[in-house]
């Protein structure tokens, strides 16, 4: 079975002015979104108290909020956790003044949890506390810096590898596209205000891994075609590479997408953020592999002679006595 015509010869690079323009627009828009709306950082980053409450019967988020407000817990963030019977409640310890006073300023998770449960049960007796967390704000700061370090490590590591295995231009093009993918993914997360917690951070880093995978496959084909072709017109080679790998690019994205869809729909609230971020990342990464990475490569001026000597001839020379 084949979904894609193997002779497909879509002139992707012909659209490069538009695709790059769109990519730049998306990046700028993402940066603007992250700067203005910001990411909706979860408890892992901000510190505070988080609880998961289960109801026997479906419940409206607005009702939960109203119940909390009635009990004097005004600043709590209430979110549904996939389904209508489970809600997550986040707040700063200072939002429960009664608990803070009672414990002389010490964070007393037991007390806060009890307060919240009591407040909720006053309105709906079927509310049940399922889990409760407390995270100090220093932990979040550390996580944020760890995440940044990890992202830089990935980008530099990948750049170094591609520089050695391919060539400078490939490394630059890959990393530029990579930055685009991460920014746009974060931009979408900022736009829909999805909670950005530890699993989402892991997912964003995994997106880098996934999307680089995609680019490398196309780059590999470009290198191969350059070496094989007698008369290598870069634009023609790049375009053929994208078309040749098109079927693989889309099939792999579909397969990975299927598993992430299963995780999203059946994996429960803990991995929701992870799965949806990964799905966004797969979509962005796939599109950028086709429309963004190669135009950058062309623009950087890749040519046949850059790729010839590096790996093909050296081993043979080395073998000679």
Partner 1 sequence: MSDFPRWKYALVALVMLFGVIYALPNVFQPIPAVQVTANRDAPPIDQAVRQKAAAALQQKHVVAGEVIVSKDGHLLATFANSDVQKTGADVIKDALGDGYTVAFKLQPTVPRWLTAIGANSMPLGLDLQGGVHFLMQVDQDDVIDKQETSYADDIRNLMREKKLRYVSANRNAGRGNGIAVAFRTDAERNTAADAMAVAFPDLNVTNGPDTDGHFVVTAKVKPDKLRELAANTIKQNLGTLRNRINALGVSEPLIQQQGEDKIVVELAGVQDPAEAKKLIGATATLEYRAEGGSDAQAAEAARTGNVPPDARLYYERGTGRPILLSKRIIATGNELVDATSSFDSQSGSPSVSVTLNATGAKKMLDFTTGNVGKRMGVVYVERVVDTKVVDGKEVRVPKITQEVINYAVINGVFGKNFQTTGLGSAKEASDLALLLKGGALAAPTDIVEERVIGASLGQDNIDKGFKAVMLGLALVLLAAAIYYKLFGLVADVALFFNLVVLIAIMSMIGVTLTMPGVAGIVLTLGMAIDANVLICERIREELRNGCTPHAAIRAGYEKAWSTILDANVTHLIAALALTTMGTGAIKGFGVTLMIGILTSLFTSVTLTHAFTALIHGHRKLKTLSV
The distance of closest approach from Cβ of residue 263 to partner 1 in the complex, given in angstroms and rounded to an integer, is 5
The distance of closest approach from Cβ of residue 215 to partner 1 in the complex, given in angstroms and rounded to an integer, is 8
**Integer Cα distance of 232 and 162 in angstroms:** 21
The distance of closest approach from Cβ of residue 249 to partner 1 in the complex, given in angstroms and rounded to an integer, is 9
The distance of closest approach from Cβ of residue 177 to partner 1 in the complex, given in angstroms and rounded to an integer, is 12
Residue 86 pairs in a beta bridge with: 54
**Integer Cα distance of 289 and 298 in angstroms:** 14
DSSP H/E element including 184:
helix 168-192
SS (H, E, C) 249-287: HHHHHHHHHHHHHHHHHHCCHHHHHHHHHHHHHHHHHHH
Residue 316 contacts partner 1 per CB under 8 A = no
Tell me which residues in 223-252 interact with partner 1 (CB under 8 A): 224, 244-245, 247-248, 251-252
Q: Which phi and psi (to 5°) does residue 249 adopt?
A: -55, -45
DSSP labels, 95-134? G-HHHHHHTTT---HHHHHHHHHHHHHHH-TTEEEEEEEE
**Integer Cα distance of 14 and 291 in angstroms:** 10
Tell me which residues in 191-210 interact with partner 1 (CB under 8 A): 198-199, 201-203, 205-206, 208-210
119, 239, 243, 256: residue in contact with partner 1 (rule CB under 8 A): 256
The distance of closest approach from Cβ of residue 23 to partner 1 in the complex, given in angstroms and rounded to an integer, is 21
73, 120, 260, 290: residue in contact with partner 1 (rule CB under 8 A): 260
The distance of closest approach from Cβ of residue 319 to partner 1 in the complex, given in angstroms and rounded to an integer, is 19
**Integer Cα distance of 56 and 233 in angstroms:** 67
Residue 248 in tokens: 């693989």
DSSP conformation class of 49: E
The distance of closest approach from Cβ of residue 54 to partner 1 in the complex, given in angstroms and rounded to an integer, is 9
The residue behind tokens 């623009």 is: 299
Residue 109 contacts partner 1 per CB under 8 A = yes
Q: Which phi and psi (to 5°) does residue 11 adopt?
A: -85, 75
Count of residues that bind partner 1 according to CB under 8 A:
83
The residue behind tokens 């932990």 is: 139
Residue 258 contacts partner 1 per CB under 8 A = yes
Tell me which residues in 7-66 interact with partner 1 (CB under 8 A): 44, 47, 52
Choices 18-26, 72-80, 181-189, 262-270 (CB under 8 A): range interacting with partner 1: 262-270
Kindly tell me which of 70 and 227 has the beta carbon lying closer to partner 1: 227
Kindly tell me which of 234 and 267 has the beta carbon lying closer to partner 1: 267
Choices 30-38, 65-73, 182-190, 259-267 (CB under 8 A): range interacting with partner 1: 259-267
Tell me which residues in 113-172 interact with partner 1 (CB under 8 A): 113, 129-139, 142-143, 146-147, 149-151, 153-154, 157-158, 161-162, 165
């Amino acid at each position: 079975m084949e979904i894609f015509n193997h002779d497909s010869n879509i002139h992707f690079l012909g659209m490069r002015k538009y695709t790059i323009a769109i990519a730049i627009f998306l990046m700028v828009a993402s940066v603007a979104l992250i700067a203005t709306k910001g990411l909706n950082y979860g408890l892992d980053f901000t510190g505070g108290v988080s609880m998961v409450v289960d109801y026997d019967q479906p419940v409206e988020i607005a009702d939960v909020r109203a119940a909390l407000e009635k009990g004097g817990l005004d600043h709590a963030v209430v979110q549904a956790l996939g389904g209508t019977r489970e809600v997550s409640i986040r707040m700063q310890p200072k939002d429960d003044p009664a608990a803070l006073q009672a414990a002389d300023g010490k964070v007393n998770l037991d007390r806060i949890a009890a307060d919240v449960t009591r407040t909720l049960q006053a309105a709906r007796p079927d509310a049940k506390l399922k889990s409760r967390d407390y995270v100090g704000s220093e932990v979040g700061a550390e996580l944020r810096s760890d995440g940044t370090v990890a992202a830089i490590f990935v980008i530099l590591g990948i750049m170094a590898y591609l520089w050695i295995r391919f060539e400078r231009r490939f490394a630059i093009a890959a990393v530029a596209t990579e930055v685009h993918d991460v920014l746009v993914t974060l931009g979408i997360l900022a736009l829909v205000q999805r909670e950005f917690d530890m699993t989402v951070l892991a997912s964003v880093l995994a997106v880098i891994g996934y999307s680089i995978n995609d680019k490398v496959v196309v780059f590999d084909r470009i290198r191969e075609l350059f070496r094989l072709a007698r008369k290598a017109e870069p634009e023609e080679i790049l375009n053929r590479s994208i078309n040749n790998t098109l079927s693989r690019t889309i099939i792999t994205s579909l397969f990975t997408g299927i598993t992430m869809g299963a995780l999203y729909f059946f994996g429960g609230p803990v991995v929701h953020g992870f799965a949806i971020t990964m799905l966004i990342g797969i979509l962005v990464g796939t599109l950028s592999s086709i429309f963004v990475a190669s135009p950058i490569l062309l623009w950087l001026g890749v040519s046949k002679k850059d790729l010839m000597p590096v790996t093909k001839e050296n081993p043979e020379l080395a073998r000679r006595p």
